Amino acid sequence: MECWCVSKLKSWLLILITILILMVCRIDGGCIEEERKVLLEIKTSLIDSNFLDLNGFLLSWVDDGSIGGECCDWERVTCNTTTGHVTNLTLRNMVGLPEQFYEDCKSIWPLNVSVFLNFKELTSLNLSWNCLDNNIVNTGLGRLSSLRKLETLDLSHNSIGNETFHLLGALTSLRVLNLGYNKLEGYLPTLGMSLVLLN
């Protein structure tokens, strides 16, 4: 007959193992905590711009307070289901302007593009229709070259001018770059991507 303390120890071990298994499963299916925080920061930066009526906007991007919470099933976000890292961000038209205002739009979203450095496995970033201007240079556009998996960057329908163009050449992992409908003018040098859309 087993002594009382051994069977008690066994059941504690069983509970501990069960908790560990549950934790591992959660991390496996969830998203990376650091990346979840950054997504929430992006949402805050939009709210802080005071321009937007965020009613009904990014409703799924909520902080439920849990560590290792879900963000891979948020709208506009896609993760690699194996690693849990964010791979695709579709942040198009975050400023919610009607189309006729884009013709001459001014910077209204104080986006610091350095935030994207936190998404180590980012492959596709869609920032179209956001009234972004050359300020994205000052906030570290060139540094995005350290995102070695970034293949697709859509910057179309913004207010980006000449200064930005050269820096984009540093993003050597890019295969598709869409710069259509911006303020790029005159002759522009060739970049290394396989597809550069200018119109």
Ligand X SMILES: *[C@@H]1O[C@H](CO)[C@@H](O)[C@H](O)[C@H]1NC(C)=O
Where on the chain is the footprint of ligand X (CB under 6 A)? 78, 80, 82-83, 87-88, 92, 112, 114, 123-124, 126, 128, 138-140, 151-152, 154, 162, 185-188
Query: Which residues touch 10 (CB under 8 Å, ≥6 apart)?
Result: none
Nearest approach, Cβ of residue 156 and ligand X (Å):
7
CB-nearer residue toward ligand X: 51 or 139: 139
CB-nearer residue toward ligand X: 8 or 37: 37
Strand 77-79 versus strand 86-90 pairing type: antiparallel
Nearest approach, Cβ of residue 184 and ligand X (Å):
7
Other C-beta atoms closer than 10 Å to the C-beta of 137 total: 18
Distance of CA 133 to the CA centre of its chain: 18
Nearest approach, Cβ of residue 20 and ligand X (Å):
23
Other C-beta atoms closer than 10 Å to the C-beta of 84 total: 21
Nearest approach, Cβ of residue 69 and ligand X (Å):
20
Q: Pull the structure tokens for residue 171.
A: 């993003």
The residue number whose beta carbon is nearest to ligand X equals 186
β-bridge partners, 153: 125, 177
CB-nearer residue toward ligand X: 26 or 92: 92
* Closest of 63, 62, 92, 65 to residue 76, by C-alpha: 92
CB-nearer residue toward ligand X: 61 or 129: 129
